Amino acid sequence: MERVPEPELMDDAAQAWAYAHADFSEPHARFIELFREEFPNENIRGAVLDLGCGPADIAIRFARAYPECVVDGVDGAEAMLARGRARLREEDLGERVRLLRAYFPGAQLPAAAYDALISNSLLHHMRQPTALWETVKRCARPGAPLFVMDLLRPASREQAALLVDEYAADEPPVLRHDFFHSLLAAYRPGEVEAQLRLVGLADLSVEVVSDRHLLIYGRMP
């Protein structure tokens, strides 16, 4: 099945509400678990960049998992960031998780170089995926852990529909709609490997980690 692009930004208030209230506890907890598996002896300190942070659930989970770091969460959708800021006030994490509206490439960020870089479910939104990888190269210090998780495009629209039924059966229609179209917009491992070769990041690993997720990880050259 060929890739079907979707809008880069999710700035609709109904989308933001649905994502902020949806139950992503399993995949988001798995994100932190996989990070720890790939970097088992890493005590993350300093500044961490979360690209495409949405309503900040993973940024918050990461800050709690690594209490000596500060996380800068960046997203282009103000509706998502507003939900994240409300969550930070509730959890009193405003001093350790900072949210910023910015666009890639060329975003002006608080830190000149980051000690770790994470991202979840941003790549499939990118019409020009090299913009993400060029941002990674520009923002991560040499040797920094890089950890990007994204959706995996299934073989057919029928398989995509089955995945939506399995994992989002009880979610609102807007979330089911977005999940289906995000699956159609996701990349395959070979496509991601080609992107990485193009920007000089071919040493990063690309691994399928579930029936709907792939992982790109390694250290900044």
User: How confident is the model over 4-31, as a mean pLDDT?
Assistant: 69
134 has a pLDDT exceeding 60: yes
CA 90/CA 175 separation, integer angstroms: 24
Q: Which CATH superfamily is domain 13-152+187-219 in?
A: Vaccinia Virus protein VP39 (3.40.50.150)
Model-level pTM? 0.91
pLDDT of residue 94: 85
pLDDT in tens, 25-38: 788 999 999 999 99
Nearest CA among 138, 142, 123 for reference residue 206:
123
pLDDT one-digit tens code per residue, 107-132: 788 888 999 999 999 999 988 899 99
- The pLDDT of residue 91 is 87
Pairing of strands 46-51, 213-219: unpaired
* Per-residue model confidence as pLDDT tens digits over 159-183: 999 999 999 888 888 888 889 999 9
Nearest-angstrom CA–CA distance, 213 and 221: 24
> Would you list the domain boundaries of the chain?
13-152+187-219
